[in-house]
Structure 1
Amino acid sequence: MASPLVARLAQLRSSARIAVEDERGQTTFAELMDRALRVRGALLAASAPRGAGERAEPASLEGERLLLLASPGAAWVAALLGTILAGGIALPLSPLYPPAELTWLAGDAGVRRVIVSDDLAALAAPLAQGRAVLRVEDLERAAPGPESALADLAEDDPALLLYTSGTTGKPKGALLTHRNLAVQAELLRAAWGFSEEDVLLHALPLHHMHGVCIALATSLLAGSATRMLPRFDAQRVAAEIARRSATVLMAVPTMYQRLFEHVDRGGAPGFAAGARALRLATSGSAALPVTLAERWRDLTGAIPLERFGMTEIGVGMSNPLDPGARRAGWVGAPLPTVEARITDDAGAAAGWAPGEERGQPGGAAVARGELWIRGPSVFKGYLGREDETRAAFQDGWFRTGDVAERSADGYFRLLGRTSVDILKSGGYKLSSLEIEETLRDHGAIAEVAVVGVPDEEWGERVVAVVVAAPGREAECATAPLRAWAKERLAPYKVPRDAIVVQALPRNAMGKVVKPELVKAIERGTLAGRSS
């Protein structure tokens, strides 16, 4: 079947409504689509064969992965859409990544071309070896390609590649199709009441499911305007809310914490009134502490709308749009077209099963176990990792790796990960194994275990527990270790604390018992020191 994403974008092409507002001004949907089609035309033209007088442009990039490294704004959106409309797969990455991580991701994805904005050209330099580097500004000046070929794009064609951490220690690229993106955007438009009258305040990262799909794509495909900020800055976001420049805020718990800290320092007069004027405030990417939810309720009269999502599934379940029906600490019920089940260790349905009596709202939990999801918004698979893709599914269900419980009336609450090696900090899902692998390159570290410690601000605080090489304990203290790690890891992956110990707790098989480490850190009884 034809791509529903392309069909929806075609409907917006002639709209004179504002699509994106950024630091350079306002861009209408018609202008945005014109820029996207010019990017498409340039990419197709550059892919045309050049031998024996042959110069016909290909109809599609046929799934070529293109890395996108550009600053937030209309140019970023045009490059993303242009790549997808050309039949390519967009791989957006963060400018905060160190060169080594950018290079690894580009290599793993098999990237041959990099799209970059002028202000980030220096960051793309390490990627230039063996790859073409294309300026967004040049692509937008090209002639649009033939639009007839757009009809050839199909719903199952991959459109987006987002990297997510896994238990292998290295990130995995999740492939999302045209259908995945269109279905997800429509589900959230209906569930969260998006309309052409909305303005989304967007300060989320643009290499992440939350920022690209849940926020931007939902707003864009609903015909809403998106006010894109260069980055999250509590002072700037609080000021935007105070002056009522938007109707919707999407954030992660750490952002809410930073906003409250700014307000507590006396910043942003009018913030409370502006927050109350928001039509909707959502929280995701990590569990929202009840204390933060209740403080937002004290400020605005309603807790933020919390939901459950993953790179592989988008948003699978959500609290209701009605503020009075939301439950702090719960992620709500499955969205239409999404099926959810709680399973036991053998993969069988645990407790209540679909079709049985659900009981009364707010009833006690009737099932607890691993959460499985299926539906049309679930991803296509991991790029180049067929074994891991097969392992992630069972009988058509995606195994989320999250432990959850379901109430008698069908609401879900997340209890944690089935693997202690997957952490959620500041809205990001991180692999402790990946961080450990990097830290082991430090000459002063003999052994290391990275764990997530429950933290109200971060969701989980990333802590490195280190056995130092003889006489090199000082190099493993928090400050010097963080400085070293910042040169090799994205900022949100850098451990917040380092604790030096004599030995790591291990079981009979020699495996580090991480739950013991977490409990000892929480109790303050871990033998060692941090600084």
Structure 2
Amino acid sequence: MLTLIDRAAAFGPRTAVVSAGRDYTYQQLLDRSARIAAALLAGATDLKEERIAFLVPPGFDYVAIQWGIWRAGGIAVPLCTKHPTLSLRYVIEDTAARTVLYTKWFADKLAPLFTELPADFIRAEDYGSAPTALPDVAPDRRAMILYTSGTTGRPKGVVTTHANTEAQITALVKAWQWSADDRILNILPLHHVHGIINVLSCALWSGACCVFLPRFSEGAVLEVFRRGEVNVFMAVPTIYYKLIHHYHSLLEVEQREISAALRKFRLMVSGSAALPVSVLEEWRDISGHTLLERYGMTEMGMAISNPYLGERRPGHIGQPLNGVTVRLADDGEIQVKGPNVFLEYWGRPEATAATFTDDGWFRSGDIAVYEDGAYRILGRNSVDIIKSGGYKISALEIEEVLRTHPQIKECGVVGLPDPEWGEIIGASLITDGHPLNLDELQAWLCERLPGYKLPRRYIFQDELPRNVMGKVTKQELKTAFA
């Protein structure tokens, strides 16, 4: 049984989704997803884990298609709306998707693949047929394949079962005290666990409402806040940075109205990348809220979270969620066990085996320390931990200090190959436009990071390369230094 969908019947007349200016109830979501499931089955009794890819904008149709795939016994493969055709082709081919559902907005992008791939490409707007008997889908069956952005090699398809997703949802619903009275604005990409699980699925599990915008803009988001339409919000640090910048461009009366509305919120969360303390503090000044930071990955959903009630310490990610066990390996790597951890990498048994220890712990690749009852991330082993002269240096710690400099708006720190030191530290800086004296900057850093190895090379640029989740793309930064 699919508990997420079964629970929806109890919320029938309540609003589940707001999109394209319309309210959609849980009953409408059940009815539409049942018709989609029937069309996918096309007379069969069960899709038996066939992969169904879909490229649709965030909103009611997205949710109905996702649920329809699950109810028919298929594996949902959500495609990224911003990816180029070549990247979409890779995912469709890698999963051997039988069907690709898409809306008119993406017809031109997918058109080159219509005759090149064996999949059936079907317009989703009016897709569906008369409801029919649907299969009983066991919790241990594969539910979804999400592709990692990865730091090396081609993206891998992360396979989660229905039991995995239920464990991820229920841990967050309990930890963050979701209720049917919640309304959340979802501006996150829906091919990643952050948007799918943390926002959309937690809301729908709880009988709450998920609100979508036709398109993202800082002004539109702040206007939703000002009107008091939502009381929960989750985003990546880059989004909070953009909202802060736009807020300061508004008239004082508008700022007061937005801040007053934000103070009525129940919960605000930041994740998917390290949250600069400067952003946390400025958002707290604006909203009255200390952002709740948490830690997770595509392979395990969320594993660690700061408390809903209690102290949230800047730079720390808190304690393991209910049902999740965490340990730090000898080099400080976070390793995880629990029902939230994924099943496998699609079609990559060797990669799957390599990411688990002999005794079954998932290797996250992230390095952390445990301080006074809470975990603190030092960085990603492959890109954020710089090995110089026999020392392991956290790029994130240097970035955090650099962001406090009055002339530095944003930065990225990476390790650069060096024959003598192994790696030296390079810093890419976005400044306020005024000349920055590097000798003075280095002296300023020395005062704040005594005894720390500091950047030896700097470059200046107008913007830092980022992936779709707002993380600085450090492999591209290394190329910029070359």
Aligned residue for 2:230, secondary structure, equals coil
- Hey, what does 1:71 align to over in structure 2? 57
Instruction: After TM superposition, give the deviation of residue 135 of structure 1 in Å.
Output: 1.6
- Rounded to whole Å, the distance in 1 between the matches of 2:9 and 2:241 is 38
Equivalenced residues, count: 417
Instruction: After TM superposition, give the deviation of residue 119 of structure 1 in Å.
Output: 2.2
- Hey, what does 2:212 align to over in structure 1? 228
Large movers: runs of 4+ above 6 Å: 457-460, 520-524, 527-531
Amino acid at match of 1:260: I
Q: Per-residue displacement from partner, 1:196-251 (whole Å, max 9, x unpaired)?
A: 10001111111111111111111111111000123431111011011110010011
Instruction: Tell me: CA distance 1:288–1:29, structure 2 relative to 1, closer, same or farther (3 Å).
Output: same
- Hey, what does 2:132 align to over in structure 1? 145
Aligned residue for 1:393, secondary structure, equals coil
Aligned residue for 2:457, secondary structure, equals coil
- Hey, what does 1:352 align to over in structure 2? none
- Hey, what does 2:140 align to over in structure 1? 156
Give the alignment partner of residue 381 of structure 1, picking from 332, 337, 344.
Answer: 344
Instruction: After TM superposition, give the deviation of residue 309 of structure 1 in Å.
Output: 0.9
- Hey, what does 2:120 align to over in structure 1? 132
Report if aligned partners of 1:92, 1:207 keep a CA contact under 8 Å in 2: yes
Report if aligned partners of 1:102, 1:127 keep a CA contact under 8 Å in 2: no
Instruction: After TM superposition, give the deviation of residue 107 of structure 1 in Å.
Output: 1.4
- Hey, what does 1:296 align to over in structure 2? 283
1:526 and 2:434 matched = no
- Hey, what does 2:246 align to over in structure 1? 262
Most deviating of 130-139 and 168-177? 130-139
Give the alignment partner of residue 330 of structure 2, picking from 344, 354, 369.
Answer: 344
1:5-16 matched pairs, under 5 angstroms: 6-13=2-9, 15-16=12-13
1:210 and 2:221 matched = no
Amino acid at match of 1:117: T
- Rounded to whole Å, the distance in 1 between the matches of 2:149 and 2:341 is 17
- Rounded to whole Å, the distance in 2 between the matches of 1:406 and 1:94 is 35
Instruction: Tell me: CA distance 1:421–1:318, structure 2 relative to 1, closer, same or farther (3 Å).
Output: closer
Amino acid at match of 1:400: S
Instruction: After TM superposition, give the deviation of residue 167 of structure 1 in Å.
Output: 4.8
Report if aligned partners of 2:413, 2:428 keep a CA contact under 8 Å in 1: no
Instruction: Tell me: CA distance 1:459–1:157, structure 2 relative to 1, closer, same or farther (3 Å).
Output: farther
Report if aligned partners of 1:320, 1:326 keep a CA contact under 8 Å in 2: yes
Amino acid at match of 1:31: Q
- Hey, what does 2:170 align to over in structure 1? 186
- Hey, what does 1:92 align to over in structure 2? 78
- Hey, what does 1:371 align to over in structure 2? 334
Amino acid at match of 2:295: F
- Rounded to whole Å, the distance in 1 between the matches of 2:167 and 2:110 is 33
- Rounded to whole Å, the distance in 2 between the matches of 1:381 and 1:216 is 23
Instruction: After TM superposition, give the deviation of residue 529 of structure 1 in Å.
Output: 8.1
- Rounded to whole Å, the distance in 2 between the matches of 1:382 and 1:518 is 33
Instruction: Tell me: CA distance 1:259–1:167, structure 2 relative to 1, closer, same or farther (3 Å).
Output: closer
Instruction: After TM superposition, give the deviation of residue 144 of structure 1 in Å.
Output: 1.6
Aligned residue for 1:16, secondary structure, equals coil
Instruction: Tell me: CA distance 1:528–1:249, structure 2 relative to 1, closer, same or farther (3 Å).
Output: closer
Instruction: Tell me: CA distance 1:257–1:132, structure 2 relative to 1, closer, same or farther (3 Å).
Output: same
- Rounded to whole Å, the distance in 2 between the matches of 1:191 and 1:145 is 37
- Rounded to whole Å, the distance in 1 between the matches of 2:154 and 2:185 is 32
Q: Per-residue displacement from partner, 1:298-325 (whole Å, max 9, x unpaired)?
A: 2233311110010001010111112x42
**Aligned residues with identical type, % of pairs:** 39
- Normalised to the residue count of structure 1, the TM-score between the two structures is 0.73
Instruction: After TM superposition, give the deviation of residue 9 of structure 1 in Å.
Output: 1.3
Report if aligned partners of 1:41, 1:144 keep a CA contact under 8 Å in 2: yes
